[in-house]
Every structure is written in C-alpha cells, then in structure tokens.
Structure 1
Amino acid sequence: MSPPAATLVADDGYELVQHTPALERSAKGKEREKENEEQADETLDDSDDEVEQLLTSTGHAVLPRVDATEDETVDGGRRTAGWGGTGGEAQRRSGSRVLNVLFGGMTPKQRRVFLREMMVETLPVLLFALAGAILAGELLQRLQSWRVFIRIEELFILVPILLNLKGNIEMNLAARFSTSANIGELDLRLTRRSLVLGNLALLQVQALLVSFVSGLLAFILGMASRKGVHHALQHPIYKPGTAPGATAGGADVTEALRGGYFEALLVLCVSMLAAGFSSGICGSFTCSTVIMCRRFRVNPDNIATPLAAALGDIVTLVILGVLSSLFILFMGTIVSSLVFLALVGAIAANIFFVFRNAYVQELLTMGWGPLFAAMAISSGTGVILETYVNRYPGFALLGQVLTAICGASGSIFVSRISTALHTGRREHYLFSAAMLTVVTYPILLAFFGFVWVTGQADVAAGFFPAYAVATAVQLVVTMLVAQQGSLLLWKLDYDPDVYALPLLSACMDVTGQLLLVAAFTFSGTKTLEAPADDSQSGETVAEGVVAVAEALRRRWTG
C-alpha cells in the first residue's frame, strides 16, 4: 500500500507533494496523523518561501498528478453561472476542459505569477542575449583583420569550437546552480560556500580540458586545410608579390614555413588561458547572479542560463584576441612552454580540490560525452555557415541571432523543467512553452525588421514570410526537443542540468542554419554569386545538401 501524500499549494501557486511514512493502525498512530494534518493546515498560511523550503528540503518531493484545482472549478463556475440548464452545465464543463488543456491546470493566480515572470524576468534577459549575440558577431568580424589571426589561421578556426564548448559548460553551471537555489541548498552559509568554490574549481577543470581539445582540433584542421604562405603576415621571410614556388610534384614549397611545435603550442596556450580566465570571470558572475536571485525571490531559471551564454561569448572573444596578440610577441621562445606546464599544473590542482568537495566530486566524471558530441554536431554548423555565408546577403548575422535567441529560450525551458523534476514542483509544460515562444517570436521578427531597414540584408520581398515561418518552426522544434529530451534523460536516470543543454544547443544551431537556408532558397532571394531561378529551387537545395556533405567529408578526412 502506497504511503499517504499531503498536497500543499504555496502562495506562488505551485503545487508541492510530500510523502509521509505510513503510520501503524493504532490509537497513538491516528492521533499523530491528526496532529500532522493540523500542522499542515497551519503551514499553508506561511510565506511561499517557507512552504517551499519546508517541502523541498526533505528530498522526498515528487511530481503530483493534478488534473484540476479547486480554484479553477470555482472560477469556472463564476464565469458560467448565467448559462443555466443542462446545456449550460455541459458548456461549462467543456470550457473547463479546454482551459485545463491550454493552461495545464493552472489557477488564475498561477497564470498571473507566470506571466509576471515572463515579462519582468525573461523578456529583459532575452533582449540582453540579443545584444550579446550582435556584439559577439561584431567582435568576431573585427578579429578577422587582426595581424595574429592572419598570421595563424588556426586561431580563427578555434573560435567557434571554443565558444561552443565553453558556452555549454557555463550554461550547465547556471542550470545546476539554479536548481541548487530552488531546492534550498544555498540558504545555509557553509553549504553555499562549498557549492560555490566546488563549482568554480570544477568549471576550471572542464574549461581547461575542453579548451585543450579545442586548440588541438583547431590546429589539426588548420594543418589539413593549409595551402602554403600567401600573405606577408603568415611568415616573416615571405615577400609580398612573390608567387609561391612549387616542386615537380606540385606541392607548395612554402608549406614548410608554417606549422610546427611553437605555433601549435601558441594555439594551445591561448585557447586554455582564454578559457580559464573567461570561466573564472563568468563563473563568479553566474554564481553571484543566482545567489542574488534567491535573496530577492526571483526565479534564477529565467535569468541565469541566457546571461551565462551571452556574457561568456563576449568575454572569451575579448580575452582570446588580447592573449593572441600578446603571445605572438614571444613565439619561438620558452615562454609558451612554461605557460603550458603551468596550465597542466592548474588542471591537476583543481582536480584535487574537486575531489575533496563532496558536493561536486561526482560531477567530475559526468557530462563529458554530451560536450564532445555537441562539438562534433557543431562542426556541421560551421560547414553550413562556410558554405552559405558568401552566397546569401545577411546570412551570417541572421543565422547567429536566430540560433542564439532560440537557444537562450530553450535553455530557460530546460532549466525550469530540471528544477521541477528535482524539487517536485509542477511545471506546466504546454503553457510554459507557449509563453516562451510568444515572448521570443516578436524579438526575432523585430530584429529582422531592423536588419532590413538598415540595409544589412538585401533580400527579396517574399523572404519575410519565409523567415517568419522558419523562425516559428525553429521555436516549436526547440521547445519540443527541450521538453521531450529533458524528460527522456530524467527517465533514463541522467540529470538534465548536465546532459540536456549541450545537445540542445548544438542540434538547434544546425536546424536553425538549415531552416534559414531553406527560407533564402524558397523566397527567391538572389545570391551574391549568381541569380537564383525559382524553377530550380529544388535543385538548389539538393546541391546545397551535397555541398555540405562534401565539406564535412573533406574536413574530417583531410
């Protein structure tokens, strides 16, 4: 026989269920059960924070199965009191069922609380994510012309790989810390201090290791695609205006002037240092943001993950550019070797600190698979961008903003679902997804209007409907993957805070780019290389798919 459950409703409208052990059928047991019920009734009058902390801190909360609440029944009766008769009763019940499906069983008070969260908390954060995506794109465009990025092409290959991996680990930190705040782990000073220090040490380990892999992969890809020296900045002894010589076999003799130990070490050191400094700054900011949200009774699920992603990209790009310009001055010396040895020592020291922290030690071996799987998936995004960025006007800017904002909205949804699963707080999935879509969709449409008015995208008249459809499809797919993916991971005993966000962001980057390509293709937008023919739209799409597949094959096979 299952133990009895006491369902409590906090002042913020969220239901919480707490199981209590079954009592023996004795007079004393019945008396204690009656006292517990009276105590639960008294608890309902307390503040919402006290109720929520009381229930969720026990660790035995589960998701309730509630189809409708008393408030909804009363509210529905008030709205339909004037109908009268049997027909009015049937209409009232039908309307109540429709509202239950639409609002997920939420009471009017719950809907008001949720709408306030969306407008006051989520909307400003999404606007900040939009500004961050635009600023990151501008920084990336300016870095192309820097001397060090022309001299060492692997640094430019490094940028998207490093930003993807670092963004994922910082979003994971934000999601984990938001869950810790919502279940009350940050309310105790000693626990809060251990969690902050442990998560920052873990973030350093993850950042240094993934940046090492990113730098190594970027150098290998750069060597595989290298075609000798063709710029004065790429090697000091190369003279501008001199055609690269070729041997009898057709190989470019200037290839020997590039690559080698010192160039590889520079790429690794710059990648690891930029990731380490950026993670320290962004990790501290994320932890502080979540703690302040808890203090001022703001839901960190709506704020932390988009802020972490947007701020991390900007900070990483700035630090990467500065360190690259600094390290190239010492290229060929022992400085890079000493720095690399110091970074290896930093990894070992942080691993030691993480193992001594009981709150995060198990996370050291978790979540690596999704990170590197996301890196492999994101390479497809880079290939699509490389294939179409010079073919369609404004593709780079529109694609970056579309994937960034949809990813931010999806990360909010994943964080809310994960918190609900950990705490037993019921998340109304359909209504949450619908509201996030309603808040995000106008932002993307308004941004396209801004791009079109300022002349940054010379597109056909039919592109706006195609772009609107592509954006709507991208948002629906994002919400669907976020919900079903998180629930599936939870069912398989994987924490969505650790496993869901990397895979979601990588997959949505690919789908966003492909949907944007489809919008350009079927709208009849003229390409920058040759005019497009509406009758050959199907052939254009097929050729694009073949080009992407061929580019992927060349990148991974060399």
Structure 2
Amino acid sequence: VVMIIVIVLSHKCKINPDNIATPVAASLGDLTTVVVLAGVSQFLFQITNFRSLLLMIIIVFFLTLIPIWTMICARNEHVKDVLIHGWSPIIAAMFISSTGGLILAFAVQTLHGIIAFQPVMNGVCGNLVTVQASRLSTALHQQGKPGEFQNDEQHTASTDCPNPYKLFCSRANASCIVRLLLFMAIPGHLTFLFIIWQLAANHIQISFLFISLYLIAALIQVAVLLYIAQWIVSFVWRHRRDPDNVCIPYLTSTGDLLGTALLTCVFLLLA
C-alpha cells in the first residue's frame, strides 16, 4: 500500500518513481522486518504454556499457505514470471550475503566498533545502486519486451562489458547520472558518520584518516556496483528476463559482501 502511494504521489509531483520507490521499499522492508520480528518474538517469549504447540501451529499454518499462494501467483500473468524465475536470484543472493556475514563475524570479534558502520556502508550503496538498476530497467521496458532492442548497436553493446571511461567520464546524460549517484555517497556517508559520532562518542573514535579511508572504500564500493549494474541489467534483458526480478538481489547482496570486506580492510589498516 505504501509503495502504491509513493508511486502515485511521484507521478503527481512529476518525479521519477525509480528515484524514490526502490529506496523506500528497501528501507520500509528492513523497518517492517525488525518491528514484526521484535513484536512476534516478544509475544512468543511471554507465553510460557503451550509454547511448543503454538510454534508448531504457526509453522504448519504458513506451510499450508505456500501452495495456496503458489496457485494464486501462477494464475496471475503479471507475477507468474517471478514465481518461475525469481528463485535463483534470491537463493544466490542469500549465499553471497552469507559470505559477507562470515567476514562480519570475524571482524566483530577482532575489530572494535565496526558493527556501527556496517549497516551504513551497505545501506547507502544498496539504495544508490538499486536506483540505477531500476532506471536502466525502466528504460529498457520502454523499448519493448525483455530481449527486444531498438537497434543492433544496443544489442551489440549488451554483449560486451561496459567501457568504464564512457560509463563514468563521458558527457552523455547516462554518464552524468552515474557520476551523480557515485558522489551522492559522500554527503550521505558524512551525514551518518556525524550521527554515529554523536551517538557513540564515548565508544568510537573517528579521526580524519578514518573518514578519508572510509569514504575511499565507500566510493570504490559504489563505483564497482554501478559498473556491475550497467552490465547485469543488459545481460539479463538480452536473455529475455525481467531485470526488476533478477538484478536487485544480486546487486544488494554483492554490495553487502564488498562493503563488509572493504570496511574490514579499513579497520585492519587502522588497527
């Protein structure tokens, strides 16, 4: 419901929904997950009698819903493709994110304070890159169905890796947008660094050297993910798949892995 409201208001305000809807969905998804998980966990812990029976009933109830929702989705042509082809990106993204989790588990045990910066490092990058992926996907959808290109030049470009110079340094409108998204990471990270410094001033020391290395790592993370987004959207489209259903899980999970690794390197350099 919130997503529908955001998209409708974006159209009325003449704002591209691709610039707003995806970050809002990601943020509200995380917030909703935490709130629901905390509420349900508190409710279950307060129950002392019949807890095992209640847990079994909940599990059976949701398992029963699986075939029902599967049948409903299979009959809807708008979401049928997600039901068929949407599993592999999610499962692959889980494995990629789990690798980042292993790195974070090591870092938390040995590097003091890293846990405060990890959500910021990955969150800012994830929002920026998903905006770019959504914009690229929308541009392709305006041309036709997945797999269709307006001309042979676009089809040939989709088979090759993007030119980094043209992607980041040319005067084309697409390159300007990429640079804008890349350097938007700087004020975003500085804002959250200031918030972390204010909230945890007695526990975390933030020096000028740390800020410099942190921003370099953040720019590397965003630049790599923007490059991957440019390639993977065209690649998925050329193979007749909807990039909206495939690309974002890969990009966000890769961003989590890369961001955690780069942040760990920053802390190791300063250790």
Alignment TM class, shorter chain as reference: 0.7 to 0.9
Q: CA separation in 2, counterparts of 1:331 and 1:405?
A: 43
Which residue matches 1:444? 189
Q: CA separation in 2, counterparts of 1:357 and 1:493?
A: 19
Query: What is the Cα deviation at residue 461 of structure 1?
Result: 5.0
**Structure 1 residue 482 corresponds to structure 2 residue 201:** no
- TM-score norm. by structure 2 comes to 0.81
Q: CA separation in 2, counterparts of 1:504 and 1:372?
A: 13
- For the residue of structure 2 that corresponds to 1:297, the secondary structure is coil
Query: What is the Cα deviation at residue 475 of structure 1?
Result: 1.7
Q: CA separation in 2, counterparts of 1:461 and 1:363?
A: 46
CA contact (8 A) 2:217 2:263 kept: yes
CA contact (8 A) 1:305 1:408 kept: yes
Residue 180 of structure 2, aligned match among 406, 428, 435: 435
Change over 3 Å in CA distance of 1:519–1:346 after alignment to 2: same
Which residue matches 2:53? 334
**Structure 1 residue 303 corresponds to structure 2 residue 20:** yes
**C-alpha offsets along residues 16-68 of structure 1, whole Å, 9 cap, x if unaligned?**
xxxxxxxxxxxxxxxxxxxxxxxxxxxxxxxxxxxxxxxxxxxxxxxxxxxxx
Q: Given residue 32 of structure 2, which amino acid in structure 1 is its aligned partner?
A: V
CA contact (8 A) 2:6 2:21 kept: yes
Q: CA separation in 2, counterparts of 1:333 and 1:518?
A: 44
CA contact (8 A) 1:393 1:458 kept: no
Whichever structure has more helix as a proportion of its residues is: 2
- For the residue of structure 1 that corresponds to 2:110, the secondary structure is coil
Query: What is the Cα deviation at residue 332 of structure 1?
Result: 4.6
CA contact (8 A) 1:466 1:520 kept: no
CA contact (8 A) 1:418 1:496 kept: yes
**Match runs of 1:185-196 below 5 Å:** none
Query: What is the Cα deviation at residue 375 of structure 1?
Result: 0.4
Q: CA separation in 1, counterparts of 2:54 and 2:252?
A: 37
**Structure 1 residue 319 corresponds to structure 2 residue 64:** no
**Match runs of 1:497-516 below 5 Å:** 497-516=244-263
Higher relative contact order (CA 8 A, sep 6+): 2
Note the residue ranges of structure 1 that are not aligned, 5 or more in a row.
1-283, 526-558
Which residue matches 1:365? 84
**Structure 1 residue 350 corresponds to structure 2 residue 69:** yes
Q: CA separation in 1, counterparts of 2:64 and 2:192?
A: 46
Q: Given residue 294 of structure 1, which amino acid in structure 2 is its aligned partner?
A: H
**C-alpha offsets along residues 191-235 of structure 1, whole Å, 9 cap, x if unaligned?**
xxxxxxxxxxxxxxxxxxxxxxxxxxxxxxxxxxxxxxxxxxxxx
Query: What is the Cα deviation at residue 331 of structure 1?
Result: 4.8
Query: What is the Cα deviation at residue 409 of structure 1?
Result: 0.3
Change over 3 Å in CA distance of 1:494–1:428 after alignment to 2: farther
Runs of 4+ in 1 over 6 A off after TM superposition: none
Note the residue ranges of structure 2 that are not aligned, 5 or more in a row.
145-149, 151-171
Change over 3 Å in CA distance of 1:295–1:346 after alignment to 2: farther
Q: CA separation in 2, counterparts of 1:327 and 1:452?
A: 36
* Percent of pairs with identical residues: 29
Which residue matches 1:548? none
Q: CA separation in 2, counterparts of 1:372 and 1:492?
A: 19
Query: What is the Cα deviation at residue 494 of structure 1?
Result: 2.2
Query: What is the Cα deviation at residue 509 of structure 1?
Result: 0.6
Q: CA separation in 2, counterparts of 1:352 and 1:418?
A: 28
Q: CA separation in 2, counterparts of 1:324 and 1:406?
A: 30
- Comparing 331-340 with 393-402, greater Cα deviation is found at 331-340
Which residue matches 1:269? none
Which residue matches 1:220? none
**C-alpha offsets along residues 214-258 of structure 1, whole Å, 9 cap, x if unaligned?**
xxxxxxxxxxxxxxxxxxxxxxxxxxxxxxxxxxxxxxxxxxxxx
CA contact (8 A) 2:225 2:255 kept: yes
CA contact (8 A) 2:185 2:219 kept: no
Matched length: 241
Q: CA separation in 1, counterparts of 2:89 and 2:43?
A: 33
CA contact (8 A) 2:185 2:218 kept: no
Q: CA separation in 1, counterparts of 2:83 and 2:260?
A: 33
CA contact (8 A) 1:393 1:459 kept: no
Q: CA separation in 2, counterparts of 1:431 and 1:331?
A: 60
**C-alpha offsets along residues 62-84 of structure 1, whole Å, 9 cap, x if unaligned?**
xxxxxxxxxxxxxxxxxxxxxxx
**C-alpha offsets along residues 281-314 of structure 1, whole Å, 9 cap, x if unaligned?**
xxx2223322332344321100111111111111
**C-alpha offsets along residues 402-441 of structure 1, whole Å, 9 cap, x if unaligned?**
1111100000000000000110399943111111122222
Q: CA separation in 1, counterparts of 2:241 and 2:120?
A: 30
Q: Given residue 467 of structure 1, which amino acid in structure 2 is its aligned partner?
A: Y
**Match runs of 1:59-98 below 5 Å:** none
Change over 3 Å in CA distance of 1:471–1:339 after alignment to 2: closer
Q: Given residue 434 of structure 1, which amino acid in structure 2 is its aligned partner?
A: R
Query: What is the Cα deviation at residue 465 of structure 1?
Result: 2.0
Q: CA separation in 1, counterparts of 2:142 and 2:12?
A: 18
Q: CA separation in 1, counterparts of 2:130 and 2:63?
A: 32
